[in-house]
Chain A
Amino acid sequence: MPDVEMKPTDPKATDAKPAEDTKAEPLSPLAEIKNNAALIDRAVSTLEPRFTHRVLRTLTSLRKRIDDSILRNAIDEIYAKDDSVHKTLIKWLPGTSSTSTEAQEMDVDSLSKPPQASLAPEAEMYLRLLILQHLLASEETHERALELANETAEKMQTLNRRSMDAIAAKIWLAVDRAYDLAGELSDARPIFLAAQRTASLRHDDEAQAALINCLLRSYINYNLYDQADKLISKTTFPSSASNAQFARYHYYLGRIRAVQLNYTEAHTNLQQAIRRAPPAKTAPGFYQAVHKYFVVVELLMGDIPDRSLFRHVVLEKALNAYFEIVKAVRTGSLAQFQATLSKHAAQFEEDNTYTLIIRLRQNVIKTGIRRLSLSYSRISLRDICVKLHLDSEEDAEYIVGKAIRDGVIEGRIVHDKGWMESGVQKNGYGPEVSEVFGRRIAFCLDLHNQSVKAMRYPLNAHRKELAAAEGAREREKELAKEIQDGDLDDDDLGGDF
């Protein structure tokens, strides 16, 4: 199972990103957390989920900069010391020895203004999420992370607040990760299934999307494609889910369809996953994982992937083995294919693509036959057998027959003479061209319409204009009234002249 967490695995990218962020936003992590908590509170009180989303966007960069003391200080500053939330949160932080807290509390007391009265529970959940992610980051605290994950999930469900949905989705992902690191991914399934049902009943789209993906990941991790397929057929993926969730969903769907031999659908889904995924440099792990499947599925469909794909900076190294397979398929040489397969078997097994690549064998043969039929107008079955390293002439006859039936080549077999005659090749211009063209136009138009629909307008912004218009009308009325009343008498006019 390749790591499909959308986090950078490339150290260079990791280093570069926070640096940029700090330049743009010179806030210290502590100040940022405080700021975020206030923003979340505002989001809840103004019913404007936009603020919460803004907070969550900074999560990735913030995650890398926090440590125990920052978190502790943040909790101290946000919650009063005798607050029950304060106690529950602080106890999750490792190494809370009494002296150090004492000292810090002194510090904090003298420095900060008295904490705000009471924050929305969403802010607490946000802090829990930060602690959880922090615990997950280091190996020794995984067990505590799992405990916290369970407690948080429970608490989240009893609270049942719609304004918490966005944070809840992130927490579910962290819970999934906690179980994954503890190696108990299958144990989390009942929890997720129950939560998914609740989320779908409450129309909690964000959590639902996250949970469906967690479940799919868990099923696919244990190779339970059947169950995963059933889950997909029984649920509808919320259309308002974020791009990252959509990318994951399409990736899993693509994998399931590829196993089921539905390559066309697998191809569309993987392509969607690539398009929706974050830029290659930000999330190289995901980008590579999707491309591995994408290349294999494209080969299985009988296409050869673009050469430029294998020159991509992020992909070049990761896809090396796949590039060799592509070369073998392209030349239609079974021997080369077998050699490459055994050479890279370990990697393919690790990527879970081994069974798919074995299926390529028939494609190699088909490509071989196609090449032969292009270069020879007539070739004996015996020669085909030798050139493609087939076991017997009898086999060659059946294989060529099947290729003709499947439309791989045009031609026929003359049995009594023991050869194959190639027919005329179809030319590439026909109604299919207009069909493909039409499909592309439809895609562009759909994209345009979707983006028009997705435009946001600030709430109540038209009120101001309305008020202004109202005022203007009012003035006009007054003016008209004054004229009617004859207030504007000749004297005034005369004065003007």
Chain B
Amino acid sequence: MAANLKTYYEELGRAFHSKPCNVTKCVALLPKLKLGLIEAGLLLPQGDVNLGDLVVARDILEIGAFASIRNRDVPSFDRYFSQLQTFYTDYSESLPPSKREYPIRGLNLIRLLTQNRIAEFHTTLECLDADVIAENPFIKHPVNLERWLMEGSYSKVWNAREEAPAEEYKFFVDSLMGTIRNEIASCEEAAYDSLPLKEAATLLFFTNKSELLTFAQKRGWQVDLTENTITFKRKGEEKMEIPKQRLIAASLAYARELEQIV
């Protein structure tokens, strides 16, 4: 491994582990390190590579993933995670397991959840063992969140937001809450005629009225300030219409096919 790569790596380690973590310095150092990794053929390792070097490469990428979360740069986290996949799946037998593997996998799951990419969430989940899903706190957390979200137990999601197993999980809490609020709001539109303001605020987990009012405005709800209620527009009953065009086209198609048979 090149000497300058090593010095950068040590510098990165110091910056990342210093308290508080020096994120700006990490982010500045990472591109240089990645260039070094590419030159050493370690970013996407192929064939036989020194195991020690691989561990270092994995370490750098993991720090990169955490740093991008702390820097609130989700696309960058996405890139780091894809690069880490090689280390986690293809080299899982030869490399010593990493302490950070499951937190990062969990973070990736939460990211998919907040972006509402449920299909990918489940595909990713299938790669993990059933034991890990049931036992590992880093994985269990997003799995439970997903289950509650699908079920509709939004209050459980809300209560679980402070129980994040790692510091970084909290970075996703805000966007997750945004997702739930939108979900709840769409449920309310369908399920209620009108709601008192105060109740709406509790249902949507808002603590003050002004937040609720801006939210209501965004969704186009009618707010009656004198009576302190929100009225939801009922969607007009869908008119039953006979799809003439389609029926005619279908009948003609049948006639043509029948003619071919006979």
A residues at B contact (CB < 8 Å)? 223-226, 229, 259-262, 349, 354-355, 358-359, 361-362, 365, 390-392, 394-395, 397-405, 411-413, 415-416, 430-431, 434, 438, 441, 445, 448-449
- Closest A residue to B131 using CB positions: A349
A415 x B196 contact (CB < 8 A) = yes
A398 x B243 contact (CB < 8 A) = no
A400 to B154, CA, bound (A): 12
Taking CB atoms and an 8 Å cut-off, the chain B residues in 168-194 that contact chain A are 183-184, 186-193
Q: Using Cβ atoms and an 8 Å threshold, which residues of chain A touch B15?
A: none
A398 x B196 contact (CB < 8 A) = no
A82 to B188, CA, bound (A): 86
Main secondary structure of the interface of B (DSSP, over half): helix
Taking CB atoms and an 8 Å cut-off, the chain B residues in 196-244 that contact chain A are 196, 199, 203, 240-243
Main secondary structure of the interface of A (DSSP, over half): helix
A398 to B151, CA, bound (A): 9
- Knowing that A260-B120, A398-B203, A405-B189 touch, tell me 6 more A-B residue pairs with CB under 8 angstroms: A259-B122, A260-B122, A361-B151, A398-B154, A398-B187, A445-B257
Q: Using Cβ atoms and an 8 Å threshold, which residues of chain B touch A411?
A: 191
CB of A344 to closest CB in B, whole Å: 14
Q: Using Cβ atoms and an 8 Å threshold, which residues of chain B touch A445?
A: 254, 257
Q: Which A-B residue pairs are the 8 nearest by beta carbons?
A: A402-B152, A401-B187, A399-B152, A405-B190, A260-B119, A401-B191, A404-B191, A225-B123
- Closest A residue to B193 using CB positions: A412
CB of B11 to closest CB in A, whole Å: 35
A403 x B152 contact (CB < 8 A) = yes
Interchain Cβ contacts under 8 Å between A and B, 23 examples = A223-B126, A225-B126, A225-B127, A226-B120, A259-B122, A260-B123, A261-B119, A262-B119, A362-B152, A392-B155, A395-B153, A395-B155, A403-B152, A404-B191, A405-B190, A412-B193, A413-B191, A415-B195, A431-B242, A431-B243, A434-B247, A438-B250, A449-B260
A398 x B125 contact (CB < 8 A) = no
Q: Using Cβ atoms and an 8 Å threshold, which residues of chain A touch B119?
A: 260-262
B156 within 8 A of A: yes
Q: Using Cβ atoms and an 8 Å threshold, which residues of chain A touch B2?
A: none
Q: Using Cβ atoms and an 8 Å threshold, which residues of chain A touch B130?
A: 349, 354-355
A65 to B159, CA, bound (A): 66
A413 to B119, CA, bound (A): 31
A337 to B195, CA, bound (A): 35
Indicate whether A401 sits within 8 Å of B190 (C-beta atoms), given known contacts A362-B151, A395-B156, A415-B195.
yes
A415 x B192 contact (CB < 8 A) = yes
CB of B103 to closest CB in A, whole Å: 21
A430 x B123 contact (CB < 8 A) = no
B100 within 8 A of A: no
B3 within 8 A of A: no
Taking CB atoms and an 8 Å cut-off, the chain B residues in 47-93 that contact chain A are 89
- Closest A residue to B151 using CB positions: A362
- Closest A residue to B127 using CB positions: A223
A225 to B89, CA, bound (A): 13
B6 within 8 A of A: no
Indicate whether A399 sits within 8 Å of B124 (C-beta atoms), given known contacts A412-B192, A415-B192, A416-B196.
no
**Chain B: interface size category:** 35 or more
B104-140 to A contact mask, C-beta < 8 Å, 1/0: 0000000000000011101111110010010000000
Q: Using Cβ atoms and an 8 Å threshold, which residues of chain B touch A361?
A: 147, 151
B151 x A441 contact (CB < 8 A) = no
A397 to B156, CA, bound (A): 13
B184 x A401 contact (CB < 8 A) = yes
A390 to B151, CA, bound (A): 11
B153 x A399 contact (CB < 8 A) = yes
Indicate whether A441 sits within 8 Å of B192 (C-beta atoms), given known contacts A361-B147, A399-B152.
no
Q: Using Cβ atoms and an 8 Å threshold, which residues of chain A touch B195?
A: 415
B150 within 8 A of A: yes
B199 x A405 contact (CB < 8 A) = no
A400 x B126 contact (CB < 8 A) = no
Interface centre among A401, A412, A441, A445, by most chain B C-beta atoms within 10 angstroms, is A401
- Closest A residue to B242 using CB positions: A431
B261 within 8 A of A: yes
Q: Using Cβ atoms and an 8 Å threshold, which residues of chain B touch A358?
A: 147
CB of A289 to closest CB in B, whole Å: 17
Q: Using Cβ atoms and an 8 Å threshold, which residues of chain A touch B196?
A: 415-416
Contact with B191, one of A262, A365, A405, A431 (Cβ below 8 angstroms): A405
A349 to B192, CA, bound (A): 41
B254 x A441 contact (CB < 8 A) = yes
Q: Using Cβ atoms and an 8 Å threshold, which residues of chain B touch A362?
A: 147, 150-152
A405 to B240, CA, bound (A): 20
CB of B206 to closest CB in A, whole Å: 15
Q: Using Cβ atoms and an 8 Å threshold, which residues of chain A touch B154?
A: 398
CB of A2 to closest CB in B, whole Å: 16
CB of A403 to closest CB in B, whole Å: 7
CB of A84 to closest CB in B, whole Å: 36
- Closest A residue to B200 using CB positions: A415
CB of A53 to closest CB in B, whole Å: 29
A235 to B240, CA, bound (A): 43
A392 to B158, CA, bound (A): 14
A121 to B120, CA, bound (A): 47
Contact with B184, one of A395, A398, A403, A413 (Cβ below 8 angstroms): A398
A226 x B123 contact (CB < 8 A) = yes
B153 x A391 contact (CB < 8 A) = yes
A226 to B189, CA, bound (A): 36
A404 to B203, CA, bound (A): 16
CB of A160 to closest CB in B, whole Å: 29
CB of A453 to closest CB in B, whole Å: 12
A226 to B124, CA, bound (A): 8
- Closest A residue to B154 using CB positions: A398
Contact with B123, one of A229, A354, A394 (Cβ below 8 angstroms): A229
Contact with B126, one of A259, A431, A448 (Cβ below 8 angstroms): A259
- Closest B residue to A413 using CB positions: B191
Q: Using Cβ atoms and an 8 Å threshold, which residues of chain B touch A365?
A: 151-152
Q: Using Cβ atoms and an 8 Å threshold, which residues of chain A touch B260?
A: 449
A260 to B193, CA, bound (A): 35
Interface centre among B183, B190, B193, B257, by most chain A C-beta atoms within 10 angstroms, is B190
Q: Using Cβ atoms and an 8 Å threshold, which residues of chain B touch A391?
A: 153, 156
A355 x B126 contact (CB < 8 A) = yes
